[in-house]
Amino acid sequence: MTEDYIVCQVCRFLTKHGVPNIAAISPYRAIRENVRKMVGCFVEVYVNCPVEICEQRDTKGLYRKARLGEL
């Protein structure tokens, strides 16, 4: 069972019971399509932010690690 599948199931359960929910970061179109089919009520939000701003806000240091080739 993949992490994406588990997140999808949790979203589906919450939606079924009337609980608004957000699943952040879904880089693959196929996964988003599967979630859209399973959950029903699905809103996709695209956030456009310059890389420099993302790096400034990156509390986990993931952008730095990516720049250094560690990710």
pTM for this one? 0.52
Q: 39, 11 in Cβ contact below 8 A?
A: yes
SS3 for 45? Answer: coil
Tens digits of residue pLDDT in 5-62? 787 788 888 888 988 887 766 778 887 887 788 777 778 888 899 989 999 999 999 9
Q: What is the pLDDT of residue 40?
A: 76
Helical ranges in the chain per DSSP H: 3-16, 29-39, 51-57, 62-67
CA distance 47 to 58: 15
CA–CA separation, 25 and 4 (whole Å): 10
Q: Which are the catalytic amino acids? A: 26
